[in-house]
Structure 1
Amino acid sequence: MSHKRIPKRKAAIAAGSVVALGAAAILLPHANASQGGSSTDAAPRTMKATDASDLASQLQSLLGQAFAGSYYDAAAKQLVVNVIPGDNNNVVVQAKKAGAKVREVSNSLAALKTGAQTLKAKATIPGTAWAVDPKTNKLAVSADSTVTGADWNRLTSTVKSLGDGMATVKRSSGTFKTLVSGGDAIFSQVQGGTVRCSLGFNVKASDGSPAFLTAGHCGVAAKQWSDSETGQPIATVDQATFPGNGDFSLIKYDDPNTQAPSEVNTGEGQPVQITQAADATVGEQVFRMGSTTGLHDGTVTGLDATVNFQSETDPNGVDTVTGLIQTDVCAEAGDSGGSLFTQDGSAVGMTSGGSGDCTSGGETFFQPVTAALQATGATLGDGGAGAAGQAGSADPSASASDAAGGGDAVGGGGTADPSATASDGTGDQSGAGAGDQSGAGTGDQSGTGTGDQSGAGAGDGSSSLTGTN
């Protein structure tokens, strides 16, 4: 039986397709093998970030309650493991022999998680976020520009109540919003306009049918999705989580014979094969593809982050999302829902939201791919979450509007009127700007529709074409 392919114009929606402005070669895996002595050497050994992530997982089991987090030192190419001082000399020696750099810290993971629970109970304020920062061994608390007055006092007093050395507070530029990121644009027609998002990663659903992952707020916004703004639906939401414990959707292709290659098409005929799903490691370099801002790279800065977005349906409410990856990768409106991945082809996350932009800076949060796969029962590629993906490449002749149409689940990525108010509901410059779930379009589910051109996202400000962030 012949397999049906998505129209050539869309080139079989590859995971995270977008024109990469000549950066494809930067992302292709190259020699970077682990180095260092044997497993009996006590000196830290050099390794790749993916190897550091694997080793960290093993050492967490080995160290037990003595384990207080870990991060990847990109400059030294070493895994740094935090331990709580105590009667654990034997396991610490084993950790050193395994190649990790071990350092003693004062805050246990249990204490940090208790602190996060206190923040959740007393300071769940729209525009705030927090995550464990293993580099400082503290909770890193962020507040956007909307957190002022009594809310700011409430946040800072709660942080102070945690005790000295437990948390830090910083301001984030812009406003925390759900974004829409990454790859080929996907569209849905809803009452009042068009919702536009981006495809994250192609997967196989638990029943073997072809599907893809994207942001959960996309799946909540609309049920059926097309690969063109005016085209017929080609995929239907199977599962969607937002808000709550994650921001992810599993959307199944309607045609069971649809080819869904496991790759990120960086343009110019050089797709990066996605061969596995990997947990993020603090300190590792990651790449994001965005239809609005193109290719950007940055660093993972925190894990298990909690973000409190302004509610989409209740002006006085808050949409809290937990379990996210915190990064300094920049993003803007039109960049959410799509691929966050590593140089060696590991799928790491899908853009959820953040604050700032690629000019002024900020921070962006991502839904972990591993958690989304576990929750939905889906797998990457033909053989599951560690197997090589199905071959396939995007049409190199695809235009930016075809291959990277972008997708703001919040009503499209365009440049909105910076003076627009909540009642203005300005639209996307591509004409898809109605129906923004986060308030960028006239068909906003919450009915508020803002036209904030800063979107959300985080900015290191670099073009990320050299991969040196």
Structure 2
Amino acid sequence: MSHKRIPKRKAAIAVGGVAALGAAAFLIPMANASQDNASGATAAAPKTLKATGASDLAAQLQQLLGQAFAGSYYDSGKQQLVVNVVNGDSNVIVQAQKAGAVVRQVANSSKALETAARTLKAKATIPGTAWAVDPKTNKVVVTADSTVTGSKWDTLQSTVQGLGSDKATLKKTSGSFKTFVSGGDAIFSQVQNGEVRCSLGFNVTASDGSPAFLTAGHCGVAAKDWSDTEGGQPIATVDQAQFPGNGDFSLVKYDDATTQAPSEVNTGNGQTVAINQAEDATVGTTVFRMGSTTGLHDGQVTGLDATVNFQSETDPNGVDTVNGLIQTNVCAEAGDSGGSLFTQDGGAVGLTSGGSGDCTSGGETFFQPVTTALQATGATLGDGGAAGAGASADPSATAADPSASAADPSASAADPSASAADQAGGDQIGGAADPSATAGDQTGTGDQSGANDQSGANDQSGTAADQNTSGHHKNR
């Protein structure tokens, strides 16, 4: 089958396609006061930082402080980085203060919290659970979804109690943890049971210099060849895919080496936001997620190095555990997987993986860090200099008029008022909403296009891309 050539237009409409602004806050430019502190002062005043600057400073201080470093978070109200230290060494504190951070002494070291997480993995790897380090509380926060009941809840509760209330806390969340699929600019693949829909995250350049993009790993495991139109000819092929295990990411190479793959986010109305760097997430930072099902939504990073235990689709009694994710309170729904998580300054932060809840009731969501995906695949963020066609967008004006958005969430078949489990059976990969339905959704086990196939996940009769395929179109 010949591949579709697209040398005269941008592949997959750049990066994450925007839908309506919905309830998301406007992308308000953050003040950027001078970050040049008067050197020589022993008790330097904390620097006023943008989110990108806070992320960079956190990385520097982690190296500088060594074992004394116990995490950090961004105080968005004061625009300051708060750094946790675990000893009273005045020299350590002064170094961090001189660098521009607010220093806070805490009881638990990073090593102690990592040990707690290992205990959870050994004793409480239960479908529907997740945990992540919260530097604001200096604890591991453990979350259980609605499927964790009975003896499973008892096991989880006793394990958390055994860690001590000073190291871990336990909370319940509505809905069930599952991978969200689709969002941003939709990409499609034909599989045995119909058509799979995912979304493009960020355009990149592969290690061999060819144009490519990143998306969710469970998408790359589900299918190998991808198109940018429903039922269209393939334009890209999966090169690498990781899911489950140490991440949820795929590198997908465009079949046409001349494809223009600009490093930008499509915000609609011919405007784009340039994606100029990959950056690590910082707890407390405001982030924005693009999705074709639910549009543009914002929230904060709430945890790092999160572990999520999805119900396995290939084994009704198994668990698909994914490590190293970013935890946020940005809402998402079925149809948003693989899409871009970014900052207002053009920083690529994550790829939508999964979570619980919806954009009516909220919930927890998890993202694959872009920095980790780039390192693992050998790709680099950007298009190697390819120019974008859209006008540069003023982030403060992004999608200011919801009625002008290309995709109206109110038209989505994924009714926000419905629970995630109600959307076409809720049989997303890892979804615990309907375990009995997952076994029949596998299209194969011997090759990449069939392994862990989520082709039965979240059949939606329509989204922003007008998916009227009832029972044959699979949103990942």
Q: Specify the TM-score bucket, using the shorter chain as the normaliser.
A: 0.7 to 0.9
SS at structure 2 position matched to 1:147: coil
> How does 1:172-191 map onto structure 2 within 5 Å?
172-191=173-192
Using the alignment, how far apart are the partners of 2:197 and 2:173 within structure 1?
A: 26
Unaligned runs of 5+ in 1: 407-411, 428-434, 454-469
Of 57, 60, 84 in structure 1, the residue corresponding to residue 59 of structure 2 is 57
Equivalents in 2 of 1:21, 1:340: separation in Å?
A: 15
- What is aligned with 2:441? 444
2:32 is matched with: 32
Identity %: 73
1:392 to 385, 389, 392: 389
Distance change >3 Å, CA 450–CA 182, structure 1 → 2: closer
Per-residue CA deviation, residues 247-270 of structure 1 (Å, 9 max, x unaligned), is 000000011111101000010122
How many Å apart are 1:160 and its aligned residue?
A: 1.1
Whole-Å Cα distance in 1 between the matches of residues 330 and 108 of structure 2?
A: 27
Please give the residue correspondences for 1:299-378 in structure 2 after superposition, counting only pairs within 5 Å: 299-378=300-379
Q: What per-residue deviation string (whole Å, max 9, x for no partner) do you get for residues 214-263 of structure 1?
A: 00000000010111111111100000000000000000001111110100
Q: Which residue of 2 aligns with 1:277?
A: 278
The range that moved more, 166-175 or 181-190, is 181-190
Query: In the superposition, relative to structure 1, how do residues 450 and 180 fare at CA in structure 2: closer, same or farther (>3 Å)?
Result: closer
Q: Are the counterparts in 1 of residues 199 and 337 from structure 2 also a CA contact under 8 Å?
A: yes
Structural mapping, 1:91-240, within 5 Å = 91-240=92-241
2:268 alignment partner, SS class: coil
The aligned residue for residue 46 of structure 1 is 48
Alignment partner, residue 445 of structure 2: none
The aligned residue for residue 249 of structure 2 is 248
C-alpha displacement at 1:40, in angstroms? 3.6
What is the Cα deviation at residue 162 of structure 1?
A: 1.1
Q: Could you tell me which runs of 5 or more consecutive residues in structure 2 were left unpaired when the two chains were aligned.
A: 394-402, 443-451, 461-476
Aligned-partner Cα distance in 1 for 2:224–2:313 = 17
Letter paired with 2:366: F
How far is 1:13 from its partner? 2.1
Corresponding residue of 1:431: none
Shift of 1:32: 2.8
Distance 1:421 1:54 in 2: 39
CA contact 1:221–1:437 (8 Å) conserved in 2 = no
Paired position in structure 2 for 1:78: 80
C-alpha change, 1:263 and 1:25, in structure 2 (3 Å) is farther
Contact 2:21 2:297 in 1 (8 A): no
Aligned length: 427
Q: How far off is 1:24 after superposition?
A: 11
Q: Confirm or deny that 1:66 pairs with 2:68.
A: yes
8 Å Cα contact 1:34/1:48 also seen in 2: no
1:465 aligns to what? none
Structure 1 stretch displaced more, 313-322 or 181-190: 181-190
Find the aligned partners of 1:257 and 1:208 in 2 and give their Cα distance.
11
**How far apart are the structure 2 equivalents of 1:316 and 1:301?**
30
CA contact (8 A) 2:357 2:420 kept: no
Question: Which segment drifts farther, 368-377 or 413-422?
Answer: 413-422
CA apart distance, 1:94: 1.1
User: Could you say what secondary structure the match of 1:361 adopts?
Assistant: coil
Change (3 A) 1:7 1:172: farther
| Gap change, CA 1:79 and 1:204, over 3 Å in 2 | same
Alpha-carbon spacing, 1:419–1:128, altered in 2? closer, same or farther (3 Å): closer
Q: Which one-letter code corresponds to 1:292 in the other structure?
A: T
Moved more, 347-356 or 437-446: 437-446
Q: For 1:257, what is the secondary structure of its paired residue?
A: coil
CA apart distance, 1:166: 0.4
Secondary structure of 1:261's partner? Answer: coil
Instruction: Provide the rounded CA distance (Å) in 2 between the counterparts of 1:381 and 1:419.
Output: 37
Aligned to 1:16: 16
What is the CA–CA distance in structure 2 between the aligned matches of 1:140 and 1:23, rounded to whole Å? 27
Equivalent residue number for residue 449 of structure 2: none
**Over residues 299-348 of structure 1, what are the superposed CA-to-partner deviations in whole Å (9 max), with x where a residue is unaligned?**
00000000000001100000000000000000111111110000000000
- Distance 1:49-1:240 versus aligned 2 partners, 3 A rule: same
Judging changes above 3 Å, is the alpha-carbon distance between structure 1 residues 140 and 389 closer, same or farther for their aligned structure 2 residues? farther
CA distance in 2, matches of 1:104, 1:141: 23
Is the alpha carbon distance of 1:12 and 1:224 closer, same or farther for their aligned partners in structure 2, counting shifts above 3 Å? closer
Q: TM-score, normalization: structure 2?
A: 0.82
CA contact (8 A) 2:20 2:407 kept: no
Q: Quick check: 1:185–1:405 contact (8 Å CA) kept in 2?
A: no
| Distance apart, 1:91 and its partner CA | 2.2
Tell me by how many angstroms 1:148 deviates: 0.4
RMSD: 3.3
> Shift of residue 451 of structure 1?
5.5
**Structure-2 residue corresponding to 1:432:** none
Q: SS state of the match for residue 87, structure 2?
A: coil
Task: Give the CA deviation at 1:61.
Answer: 1.1
- What is the DSSP-based 3-state SS (H/G/I as helix, E as strand, rest coil) of the residue aligned with 1:75? coil
Shift of 1:163: 2.1
Distance change in 2, residues 1:91/1:436 (3 Å) = closer
What is the distance in 1 between the residues matched to 2:238 and 2:217?
A: 10
Number of the residue aligned with 1:467: none
Shift of 1:25: 11
Letter aligned with residue 82 of structure 2: V
Per-residue displacement from partner, 1:340-376 (whole Å, max 9, x unpaired)?
0000000000000000011111010000000000000
**What's the secondary structure of 1:266's corresponding residue?**
strand
In structure 2, distance between residues paired with 1:187 and 1:164: 46
1:451 and 1:233 map into 2 onto residues whose CA distance is 22
Q: Which shows bigger deviation, 31-40 or 345-354? A: 31-40
Q: Is the 8 A contact 1:24 1:267 kept in 2?
A: no
Secondary structure (helix, strand or coil) at the match of 2:117 reads helix
Deviations 1:62-102 (A, max 9, x none): 1111110000011111110000124x321211111111110
1:23 Cα deviation after fit:
10
User: 1: CA distance between counterparts of 2:142 and 2:231?
Assistant: 42
Give the AA of the match of 1:391: G
Question: Is the contact between residue 307 and residue 320 of structure 1 (CA under 8 Å) also seen in structure 2?
Answer: yes
Q: 1:404 to 1:5 in 2, by over 3 A?
A: farther
